[in-house]
Structure 1
Amino acid sequence: MNVNEHEERQDQSGDDAQVTTGASLDAGGVPEAAIPELVIISGMSGAGRSTAAKCLEDLGWFVVDNLPPALIPTMVELGARSQGNVARIAVVVDVRGRRFFDNLRESLADLEAKHVTRRIVFLESSDEALVRRFESVRRPHPLQGDGRIVDGIDAERELLRELRGDADLVIDTSSLNVHELRAKMDAQFAGEEEPELRATVMSFGFKYGLPVDADLVADMRFLPNPHWVPELRPFTGLNEEVSAYIFNQPGAKEFLDRYAELLRLVAAGYRREGKRYVTIAIGCTGGKHRSVATSEKLAARLSAEGVETVVVHRDMGRE
């Protein structure tokens, strides 16, 4: 089962969500002490927005699907007046409400003025994966009109480009199933207390393409490749002998020291800007030796400095 199949029910629910209340709101704004936590879920159609929203709902969040962006501040105000009953709100914003999408920037500015803590989660996926998912459910892309599915995908990417750049967390679901996406959401939102900064250190192979959700990318191909050492070739960077071979090469330890120092500087800036999630991609040719060993070393340093860190070896198991 892929992440798109869970979206079919929500996509058939109509163009715009309806929000009604039994009382008018005061003009005085949101009581700051009662402001709920807010997560905005957006991203590509078919990338798993509804699955991500369902995960937050299961974690106790109040979830509104396809809410027009202009109504987000109103929803926050209603939550603030719920006497603590609605402490965490998740809103799904997507191109089904494209008539209202231009209002999103204004709504985000309004939330910032009211000191609302908000995070943007952006669900990304490759064109190939999105086409495959739409074809599997035999439904058109909401923006393709009389064109092809890829035309709708291109139009949506352009429409969401700026929002993706503002996202606090980008999740690439190209190779994820429903359960793997839920696990990623759980890892980010299931904790009782939000850490200052969470990092994902991801090893990868350049020959398989750059990770689309990477914030920072480092290239380890300046070091000799253990693939050409017959006794090391069958192993990965998790092997102690492979790791020792790599970090005994000229420049390897110096790179690790200086890159860790750079990350300390970047992490401090992320914290000041309120960015809570960072994905650090470490690449080599095949994603099996140099990038894996470096990712493990780097993750250990980040963890020692108080950064909650997850290590992912994207391509280690590939031939």
Structure 2
Amino acid sequence: MNEDSNTTARRIVLVSGPSGAGRSSALNVLEDAGFEAVDNLPLRLLPHLFEAAGHDRPLALGIDPRNREFSTNSVIDLLGGLAGMPGLAAELLYLDCSTDVLLRRYSETRRRHPLAPNGRPSDGIAQELQMLEPLRARADVLIDTSELNIHQLRAEVEHWFAPEGQRRLTVSVQSFSYKRGLPRSVDMIFDCRFLTNPYWTPSLRALNGTDVAVKNHVMADLRFAAFSDKVLDLSLLLLPAYREEGKSYFSIAFGCTGGQHRSVVMAQGHALQLAEAGWQVSIRHRELDLRKKDEA
């Protein structure tokens, strides 16, 4: 396939290698980079994924030797068939690892090798490496994970397959009410209850932080601008560091008493600032969403 066709073709990456070498971790990295990741699908079903119309998202497929339909000849034939399909650019990523390191990893995790569940892991490793040798020789990209930690593996996979080698981090910004408790799985929480509360202004009580009048009221607090600026500075300091650490999702929450006014204003503004800074941001207002659901 020529270079011009590769630029427009749908990218298909088959990911294989011995158990314990990092195949699942590589699939997670590819998924974070925008690939649709599918692991351990029977080989006979794979052509249906490529034939489906209307899908141009790159695809990463985990090829597991434990699959009862697995054979190296079948995978090589599949690659050959994909090479002849217009609009597709198929590659084989092989995660390699030395026998000694694989043995150590199985020893540390006390897992049984899938090809030798009742025997020694060394027997299963030897059998699997021999089985996979034709794929290793056929690989378009081979990454030896013997001396790589999870962060180094991520960097290697991103180097070859992530657009422009960039790590992706999705940021979720949400508002909530302290009366209903803290939201789950939040990485960073800011308390907005020190700001002027619109609830005590009768004309604003029934409104929420998405209304301009409420927004202006909260922003008029002399402490608002400094608070907003410092939160933004902190986020812009930490987000690149978490991205480099390999985190793919980061959640920021703003809380106030009822989750209707101050926290909504802060969440709305902060999400907009992060989006303007180039971050991929989603926003949720927990209490407002629940209210809409109750009113429906």
TM-score normalised according to structure 1 size? 0.46
TM-score, L = length of structure 2: 0.50
Higher-Rg member (1/2): 2
